[in-house]
Amino acid sequence: MFKTLTSPRATLLDVISSEAGNPDLGAAMDTPSTESYIQLVPLFASIIEDYQIFDYLKMTPHPPSEINNVSTLVDMDPDNEFLISPRLKYGRCLRGFLHTLLLLLQKK
């Protein structure tokens, strides 16, 4: 499974390494794309169920997004006064948003 490539060519080791430098986050892992998340759902489900204490695979699916174009989203903190965490979770279900790991892999 470590050698299995996800759609943007990330491995499971990349996914695990994405959060290894942040041990204070508890159980956190990032995928490079929605397709990668779906591919690794059995692994993520067991982590989520253990950490959040609910049956992830039986939960109600996320409702469809009402946002069709991510380029229409505005900067919520243009003066950098309130949002201080680089760990801000953003539009995981929005098409066109890159996930954190994919951004990091593109920098390499």
Give residue-wise pLDDT tens across range 50-89.
766 666 566 666 666 666 666 777 777 888 887 665 554 5
The full set of domain ranges for the chain reads: 12-58+72-107
What's the pTM? Answer: 0.39
The answer to whether 31 touches 40, Cβ cutoff 8 Å, is: yes
Distance between alpha carbon 96 and the CA centroid of its chain, in Å? 13
CA distance readout (Å), 107 to 96, 97, 102:
18, 16, 9
